[in-house]
Amino acid sequence: MVVDIFGGAGKKAAPPLPLPENAIYHPDAPKKIFATLADYFSWRKPKPGQKVVAVGFHRIEVANDSLLHIDDVIRRIEKKGAFALPFFDPNDGRKIMPLLKDGKGALAPDALIAFTGLYTTVDEQVKFAKEFDRPILQAMTYRSGYEDEWRKSEEGLPLFQMGVNYTLAEMAGRIDNTLVAAKRRSDDALVAIPEQADALVERALGQANLRHKPNKDKKLAILVWNSPEGEENFSASYLNIPASVVEIVKSLRKDGYNAPEVDEATVIANVKKLIRPYYRTKNDAELKKLVAEGLADRVPVEEYKKFIEALPQETQKGLADGWEKPEDTYLTLKEDGHADFIVPLWRIGNLIIMPQPLRGARRSEESDILHDKKRPMHHAFRAVYYDIVHKQKVDAIIHLGLHGTQEWALGKERAPSVFDDTQTTIGNVPVIYPYAAHGPGEAIIARRRGRA
């Protein structure tokens, strides 16, 4: 039968090639598999300064020819201008490192996207993570159902998949757990969910960017909480925000960031000014004061609307049904025939300091909707994050405190969609979230839904 199909009567077949335990792989390479990094680089090598993202997956995926979703991620990395370094192994972190080092012993990757579960034991994985010393992002797959089922699901990922995808991965120091693939109905093959795979690649490149970009050029945004309520309050679970900001700025300056020195009194005075518009909403006087003092940024409402129009129809309908129009929010200033969102913020060098905005439209209803996962985020809230993520393009966000509002927003419990409110706010920017040690339960929410 083989001869009938492929021809070659009278010829002897070559012996089968054994699949190595671990190797570098690429779907476009003639021989697919490379024994060493030097061998791989002889076929294709990164350009000087090019970001390198490794993609790790289990050997069984190659043996079973279950590579569609992995190949998709590899090609997305390359399409975005980075260099892909895919490899497989039998989940043994002790054997990976030689594949990732060049002839001089230097590690090639800037970040790693891991499709695998846990490498051997937690202790061994921690040892690997310390030696690797690069961000490891967890890629998750929806093996219990199909893409449409995941999209409709409120829980996102079933509880029985939590162990490998979240708990063990977190114990091993992995971050940004992102669901990127689900089963295809026609043949049960795992295939990429395009926007999800794209998001994970962008998140990995965001981490790689922090390794490549000089500190003096990096833009950061620190968001502080207005808690407890009151236009002169900003703290979080007894954290001294002004003193913390001063210490963060000192550390940034020491590491070469463009962040002029500040003192506690100045932090207190300016953040109080930034908070006032969230309370004094009867007129636009406070917004105009911030603009005059250089303590605000403008986001044209028409520009913001284009961002909203790119979201799913369901999201747009929820916004239209739940809140007033973008032109009519407490942060909207109408002048000379056009409307802008006025985003309260304080710039010091390349550092932005700002309060997290109201969850809704009115201060009086904040406590009622704080944990409401049915009602979408208000336009003004979205506009603030739109400004720092899409307009100013910060390289990282620092959520300073405990129990903000972004991570509690509308969306799946686990394995969120990129269209969930928890994700459309912060986008794919790296998020740093110093969290109080006595609040691990809420910290898990910040990590899994807030990408901390």
Which token pair is 59?
Answer: 């050997």
Per-residue pLDDT, averaged over 395-416, amounts to 92
Q: What is the DSSP string of 196-235?
A: HHHHHHHHHHHHHHHHHS-GGG--EEEEE--BSSSTT--B
Phi, psi of 368 (to 5 degrees): -80, -30
Q: How far apart are CA 376 and CA 359, in angstroms?
A: 9
Give me 138's structure tokens: 């967890």
Tally of residues, the chain: 452
Using the predicted structure, report yes or no on whether residue 443 has a pLDDT greater than 70: yes
Calpha distance 424→237 (Å, rounded) = 26
Cis peptide before 15 (omega within 30 of 0): no
Mean pLDDT computed over 200-215: 98
274 sits in which H/E element: helix 264-275
Count the neighbouring beta carbons within 10 Å of the beta carbon of residue 332.
22
Q: 128, 101, 130: which is closest to 116 by C-alpha? A: 128
Does the pTM exceed 0.75?
Answer: yes
- Residue ranges, comma separated, of all CATH 3.40.50.2300 domains in the chain are 2-212
**What are the DSSP calls for 275-327, one per residue?**
HGGGT--SSSHHHHHHHHTT-EEEEEHHHHHHHHHTS-HHHHHHHHHHS--GG
Asked if the model's pLDDT at residue 202 lies above 70, the reply is yes
Torsion of CA 333, 331, 383, 248, to 10 degrees: 120
Per-residue pLDDT of 262-310, as tens digits, reads 999 999 999 999 999 999 988 999 999 999 999 999 999 999 999 999 9
Task: Specify whether the CB–CB gap between 439 and 402 falls below 8 A.
Answer: yes
Residues contacting 234, CB < 8 A, separation 6+: 224, 225, 226, 227, 241, 271, 272, 275, 355
361, 381 Cβ separation under 8 angstroms: no
Average pLDDT of the chain is 92
Expressed in percent and rounded to 5, the helix, strand and coil fractions of the chain are: 40, 20, 40
Question: How does pLDDT run across 325-358, given as a tens digit for each residue?
Answer: 999 999 999 998 899 999 999 999 999 999 999 8
* Residue 1 pLDDT > 80: no
Average pLDDT over residues 222-236: 82
Instruction: Look at residue 118 in the predicted model and tell me its pLDDT.
Output: 62
With residue 145 as reference, give the H or E element that holds it. strand 136-146
User: Which option is the CATH number for 2-212: 3.40.50.300, 3.40.250.10, 1.10.10.10, 3.40.50.2300?
Assistant: 3.40.50.2300
The answer to whether residues 128 and 93 touch, using CB atoms and an 8 Å cutoff, is yes
End-to-end Cα, the chain, rounded Å: 56
Rounded Cα gap, residues 203 and 52, in angstroms: 13
Q: What is the token pair recorded at 203? A: 């998140």
Q: How far apart are CA 171 and CA 347, in angstroms?
A: 36
pLDDT band at 360 (very low <50, low <70, confident <90, very high): confident
Q: What is the largest CA-CA distance in the chain?
A: 91
Average pLDDT of the segment spanning 321-326: 94
